Amino acid sequence: MSQLFSPGQIDGLSLANRIVIAPMCQYSAEDGRATDWHTIHLGHLALSGAGLMFIEATAVEPAGRISPQDLGLWSDETEAALAKTLSAVRAHSDMPIGIQLGHAGRKASVAQPWKGGGQLALDQGGWQTRAPSPVPFDGHARAPTALTRDDLARLCENFAAAAQRSVRLGLAAIELHGAHGYLMHQFLSPLSNRREDAYGGSLENRMRFPFEVFEAVRAVVPAGFPVGFRVSATDWVEGGWDLQQTLAFARELKARGGSFIHVSSGGLSAAQKIPLGPNYQVPMARAVKEATGLPTIAVGLITEADQAEAIIGTGDADFVGLARGVLYDPRWPWHAAAHLGVSIKAPNQYLRSQPRQYRNLFG
């Protein structure tokens, strides 16, 4: 029996297997509204046989977008556009779909990656960014403005409102984006958080705003509805956020009723030195899982079926997250199932594609 294809559970959400399609920004929305691209993108991945799929980082206010083309969920118009996309996807797939809610903070107001990804000038569609402290992201000429306490209270309300919209849309889970150098990660890391009030300085203070967001979201979703965090386990920079602080954050998340944790790393500083290689983040996921027992998602250069099977089978993590790998091979779960000798669900229209050597693949 394959452990990768064994059933999984996150709070009240039952999953057919341990494969998670991680959030991947598409930079293809119009004023925050999902477009036909999102229908195509989410639609074909929803036919992949993965256990759970997360929609890309979705901004809770316009100023929280990474680029002007980022997806949003802050208005009736953005909710209606995403509802249209989800309706088309669900007509042909029963895969559970979650959403990642976030705010880019000082990393906002940049061009799409294929247009260079640089900070946009105010007269070129950019905007003044906000962050814990007026410390610019590497390479950004325009520094952010420090958020006030009133701003933080408003942001919590925005996250809660987006969570309510997520529930109305029938989404299955919410992942709060506390990784990759975006706003909540900016609060956590001493490299970007230079505040001298109750939201800066000590670890407890730096964790305060992310947990205020979590509490605001948890308060407006039904009991048993999964709410978790994506974290960068380390900044890969001396003196920055690190694994020991991540473990403290994860323990506190569990104590507050968090449902899962998704363990990534980096993204806060250009000074990061990442030892890239297969499974390079998996030991951090294992450390978090062992310290907390929270359902844990491992991600990062997981590309092979045997590799993913070993991560689950050895207890390194409860789920594996696929991002670039599943963009390159949208049928990765089919191919993994064939390799591991198990059956997987496929749409009726594709049943005749089953290769002869895998007669029981589409069970």
Active site residues: 182
The rounded distance, in Å, linking the Cα atoms of 139 and 124 is 17
- Cβ neighbors of 196 (< 8 A, separation 6 or more) are none
Distance (Å, whole) CA 41 – CA 26: 9
Q: Exposed/middle/buried for 55, CB within 10 Å: 0-12, 13-18, 19+?
A: buried
Instruction: For residue 282, give both structure tokens.
Output: 């998996």
SS3 content of the chain, % helix, strand, coil (to 5): 35, 15, 50
From the CB of residue 347, how many other CB atoms can be counted at a distance below 10 Å? Answer: 13
CB-CB contact of 268 with 232 (8 Å): yes
- Residues 46, 129 contacting (CB under 8 angstroms): no
